[in-house]
Structure 1
């Protein structure tokens, strides 16, 4: 009985290991989010292996009260769901500057960030679509409670 269970576990492990997963070596595009006002980020992803990548985002946020520029870097782990569908999670951080439109105040900040999302990589076209959530914990006037959550749609060109 132990041999059958062990064999079944090994067979399942080989099945998951043999599943084809293709992350683009490079992807460049836009990440459109709502982090306390509309924002857009120029987003670059660099595949480090078939299961890991680095994402760098340079963005601008605009709301009625505060405008901000941010540079974020995240290390991501990617898991295949089926075919071109993947889900991913990551950690990282960044820095930026902000300006308060009501009180003539400004400053710089650093932040730590997480990332979790789902993506679809088209097989017949060099397009990658993603939807993710990024919680950010910042310092020095980043937000009233030093926390912001960002839901964003990403559209990237794979090369």
Structure 2
């Protein structure tokens, strides 16, 4: 019985590692999403290995009560689903600055704060150097200057790979 369980574990492990995938060494593009206001990010991905990469994002958010600028860094693991489809998950954090625009009576001025972020998504790697992705990025904010401590961010990304 022990040999059967060990053999099953080895076969499953081989199946997960045998799927070849191509992570581009570099990718540059846009990430458009919504986290209490529409915003966009310029995103850069750097492949670090066969199944991991670093993503850096510089973006802005615009809502009724505030405008924000954010810098985020994420370490991501990538797994192949089938052909050009991959899914990925990652962790990271960043720095943000929010400017309140006067529509909220409780806030005025600006605030700079840190945040931690997770990331999970799906992407399609075309035969041409184009990568489309859809991801969910929950963010936890470390500040007393804003009304909330958590922000879910859903975004669509398009990147040029080189």
TM-score by length of 2: 0.90
Shift of 1:21: 1.1
Contact residue 52 and residue 75 of structure 1 kept, 8 A: yes
Unaligned runs of 5+ in 1: none
In 2: Cα distance, 1:147 partner to 1:4 partner = 46
CA 1:15–1:107 in structure 2 vs 1: closer, same or farther (change >3 Å)? closer
In 2: Cα distance, 1:75 partner to 1:137 partner = 16
How many residues matched?
158
Shift of 1:139: 2.4
Map 1:1-159; keep pairs closer than 5 Å.
3=3, 6-102=6-102, 103-122=107-126, 124-140=127-143, 143-159=146-162
TM-score by length of 1: 0.91
Contact residue 107 and residue 141 of structure 1 kept, 8 A: no
Shift of 1:140: 2.5
CA 1:81–1:140 in structure 2 vs 1: closer, same or farther (change >3 Å)? same
- How well do the aligned residues superpose, as a CA RMSD in angstroms? 1.7
1:10 match: secondary structure: helix
In 2: Cα distance, 1:157 partner to 1:75 partner = 19
In 1: Cα distance, 2:51 partner to 2:70 partner = 26
In 1: Cα distance, 2:110 partner to 2:141 partner = 15
In 1: Cα distance, 2:98 partner to 2:144 partner = 8
Contact residue 130 and residue 154 of structure 1 kept, 8 A: yes
1:23 match: secondary structure: coil
